[in-house]
């Protein structure tokens, strides 16, 4: 654990989250379209005028411009500042939960890529392997550093958790011939299993079960409201990622509470 004042860590992660969130807006828009993340620069989709650097400040520029393009007055979706704010909030929660540690770096990788995958799956019903691969690479690097610094304590649990998540999601995909689960979910599951398994079986179990539970609750809600039919295909990625977030931030205390409830602790 690096000794960093908590207030400085939280402020730094908040600013970093805003900047990363701004970049994630580019990722969310361009990766599904197969467009480079670097070139061309950001431009208004309505008038094609380039976005000026001072109009590209996370959240603040959107507020100053009142959600409209400076050149053509076309509306700018409120989703852009919301993605930036959500990323910043999640980064701050990571700092509060894990402090200045190697695991914090792994959690930030999972959170950043998770935000992008969440939105892309909602929009396009797919989880691009390029982003999942980046999540896996960053997570493995950060956890390897943690391993060097603190020893192999969590390694066995993390590997077993990885296998469990892959087995559950891969098994569903195989049993349903791909109709009940996409390959993107199967590829992402072991990455989340590794990150949560590093925290222990409580985080892993709550994260794994939480994804299916959240999906079931939302599914029932959609059916009851008439917004989706019985055969409607709802992307599972957002539920998978929401369950993982629940496991990461509150999995261990929820697991311990469950064990006490059933008399096993």
Angle between helix axes 237-261 and 201-225 (nearest 10 degrees) is 120
CA distance 50 to 72: 12
What is residue 263's predicted lDDT score, i.e. its pLDDT? 83
Rounded to an integer, the average pLDDT of 186-213 is: 97
What is residue 3's predicted lDDT score, i.e. its pLDDT? 66
Which pTM value belongs to this model?
Answer: 0.93
CA distance 171 to 229: 25
Report whether pLDDT(21) > 70.
yes
What is residue 215's predicted lDDT score, i.e. its pLDDT? 93
CA atoms 206, 132, 228, 165: torsion sign:
negative
pLDDT band at residue 44 using 50, 70 and 90 as cut-offs: confident
Neighbours of 190 (CB within 10 A): 22
């Amino acid at each position: 654990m690096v000794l960093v004042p908590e207030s400085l860590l939280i402020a730094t992660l908040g600013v970093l989250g805003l900047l990363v969130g701004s970049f994630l807006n580019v990722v969310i828009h361009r990766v599904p379209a197969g467009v480079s993340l670097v070139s061309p620069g950001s431009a208004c989709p309505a008038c094609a005028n380039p976005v000026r650097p001072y109009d590209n400040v996370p959240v603040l520029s959107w507020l100053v411009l009142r959600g409209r393009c400076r050149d053509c007055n076309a509306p700018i979706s409120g989703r852009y500042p919301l993605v930036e704010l959500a990323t910043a909030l999640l980064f701050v929660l990571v700092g509060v939960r894990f402090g200045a540690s190697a695991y914090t770096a792994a959690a930030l990788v999972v959170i950043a890529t998770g935000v992008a995958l969440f939105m892309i799956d909602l929009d396009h019903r797919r989880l691009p392997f390029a982003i999942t691969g980046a999540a896996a690479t960053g997570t493995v690097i950060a956890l390897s550093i943690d391993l060097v610094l603190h020893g192999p304590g969590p390694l066995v649990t993390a590997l077993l958790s990885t296998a469990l998540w892959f087995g559950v999601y891969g098994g569903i995909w195989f049993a349903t011939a791909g109709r009940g689960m996409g390959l993107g979910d199967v590829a992402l599951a072991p990455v989340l299993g590794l990150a949560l398994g590093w925290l222990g079986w409580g985080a892993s179990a709550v994260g794994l079960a939480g994804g299916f539970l959240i999906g079931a609750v939302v599914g029932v809600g959609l059916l009851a409201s008439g917004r989706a039919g019985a055969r409607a295909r709802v992307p599972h990625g957002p539920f998978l990622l929401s369950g993982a977030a629940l496991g990461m931030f509150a999995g261990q205390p929820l697991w311990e509470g469950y064990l006490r409830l059933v008399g096993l602790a």
